[in-house]
């Protein structure tokens, strides 16, 4: 079995910069649209296993939704949505990274 590939910060930065070309993302978008239902299940499982969507999550939603002051409630809801978006993006990127490794492994063995 081969060692897992590791990347330097500079390699990751260059790869992220390369993704700014819309043509680079066209095929990836097709793959993701095809795999979306299964990827959603994987993402949900990862979030649930990480404890992100359990009682603590429900408590935060309830707390934000029941703030009496409309401006404070709106700010709390925006913060909660932003935090959940960031978390979903991080877990989604992790799943995507592992998906790419699995596809590479299946194509090239190892």
pLDDT at 73: 96
> Taking Cα atoms as reference points, which of 66, 91, 88, 87 lies closest to residue 76?
66
pTM of this prediction? Answer: 0.62
7 vs 16: CA distance, rounded Å = 12
What confidence tens digit (pLDDT) does each residue in 10-34 have? 988 888 888 888 887 888 888 888 8
Distances (CA, A) of 97 to 21, 34, 67, 69, 74: 19, 17, 38, 42, 34
41 vs 37: CA distance, rounded Å = 7
For the chain, the domains span 35-108
Identify the residue whose tokens are 């949505």. 81
């Amino acid at each position: 079995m081969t060692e897992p590939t590791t990347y330097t910060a500079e390699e990751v930065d260059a790869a992220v910069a390369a993704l700014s070309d819309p043509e680079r993302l066209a095929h990836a978008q097709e793959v993701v649209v095809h795999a979306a239902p299964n990827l959603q299940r994987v993402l949900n499982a990862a979030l649930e296993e990480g404890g992100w969507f359990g009682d603590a999550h429900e408590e935060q939603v309830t707390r934000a939704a029941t703030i009496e002051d409309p401006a404070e409630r709106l700010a709390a809801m925006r913060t909660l949505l932003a935090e959940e978006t960031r978390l979903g993006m991080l877990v989604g990127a992790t799943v995507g990274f592992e998906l790419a490794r699995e596809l590479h492994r299946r194509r090239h063995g190892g």
